[in-house]
Structure 1
Amino acid sequence: SGKTILALAAAIEQTVASKLYRRIIVTRSTQGLDEDIGFLPGTEEEKMEPWLGAITDNLEALHLEDENCSSSVEYVLDKVPLMFKSLNYIRGRSFQSSLIIIDESQNLTPHQIKTIVTRAGNGSKVICLGNLAQIDTPYLSPISSGLTYLTERFKGFSHGGNVLLQGVPRSVLAAFAEENL
């Protein structure tokens, strides 16, 4: 439906062009949130890289028309204050003046979503992306998902909103698969 690409484009505009936020923080469920990512080599950001391929894929999609797409993506990653954070290390943190994108939030429990959203400090915004038809966590359902919990609890909150995207702009094949598989 274009959730990630729209959120990423808006985050870049609001952070780099409009300067509403100091940085963009991206995180997501690693499908087994309680499993430590420590066995992977490298820094926290390097460990999160396999899980956040959707972000770099969407940066690439934003620059498909550029003469050298990969150079454009590298340029954006170099110039945009973009940080990848593991949910495993988020408790106790406080993110001030940050735009926080939580991708694949349908795979989070209500407790996990609360833990993340309550990290937003002054001047911060949280964008939770998810599709309840794509839950990968075996003990969650569309009813018990943290995304549903958050959406229900934020109804009527004047500083919150909910957007339902229609369609699958990725490709004709993806749209067919979404509807028929």
Structure 2
Amino acid sequence: ALAYGLHAILEQKKFKKLIVARSTPPMAEDIGFLPGTEEEKMAPWLAAFDDNLEILHGADECANGSIDYVKERANLQFKSLNFMRGRSFNGAYIIIDESQGLTQFQLKSIISRVGSDSKIVVLGNLAQIDNKYISPLTSGLTYLVERVKPYPHAGMMHIKGIVRSRLAAFAEENL
């Protein structure tokens, strides 16, 4: 999702910005007590995207410089889902990560922010729900998948297997 978003912005010029967002555990609580800007406050929860940027640009001669360059050129923005109410995202490629822990109401609130000339990609793994009040049956991700099936402008992709590591696969299947 990240690689395509960067390609669509930098090479194809389809979008003006790449917005990456995810829930801060727990979503309903404010993260305002952390010092710094919204992006600095979100850094601990969005480190996975930095990890993926390192994978995409790790072979570059100056990997850190390449990553910073791509972040700037792609207008990469890290957002907290807590701060999305009332916003409209136009000309944006939006990635919502870890959506399995969101409710149907939270996902509706997020998706209804998508403006014109934008695309939203909702990522999640029902086996990784860590909210004791949400199950695979009550997850907003499950609800979303079922509700968008008849919508002709939506697509879904189910990826089988775990590519992170054998240990991660073992943990998901056995713990």
TM-score between both structures, scaled by the size of structure 1? 0.92
Q: CA deviation at 1:128?
A: 0.2
The match for 2:129 among 135, 148, 153 is 135
Identical columns (%): 57
* Aligned 8 A contact 2:21 2:96 in 1: yes
Tell me the equivalent position of 1:58: 52
Q: Which of 33, 38, 41 in structure 2 is aligned with 1:39?
A: 33
Aligned counterpart in structure 2 of residue 124 of structure 1, from 118, 123, 139: 118
5+ residue gaps, structure 1, are 1-6
* Partner Cα separation in structure 2 for residue 169 and residue 140 of structure 1: 25
- The two structures, once aligned, show a CA RMSD in angstroms of 1.2
1:71-102 Cα deviation digits (max 9, x unpaired)? 22222222221111111111110001111100
> 1:9-158 alignment to 2 at 5 Å?
9-158=3-152
- Contact 2:22/2:80, CA 8 A, preserved across alignment: yes
Q: How many equivalent pairs are there?
A: 175
Bigger relative contact order (CA 8 A; separation at least 6): 1
Question: Are 1:31 and 1:107, in contact at CA under 8 Å, matched by a contact in 2?
Answer: no
Residue 127 of structure 2 is aligned to residue 161 of structure 1: no
Task: Please tell me whether the aligned partners of residues 94 and 121 of structure 1 are also in contact (alpha carbons under 8 angstroms).
Answer: yes
The Cα offsets for residues 116-135 of structure 1, whole Å up to 9 and x where unpaired, read as: 00000011111000000000
Matched with 1:4 is: none
Q: Give the 4+ runs in structure 1 shifted more than 6 A.
A: none
Q: Distance in 2 between matches of 1:54 and 1:42?
A: 20
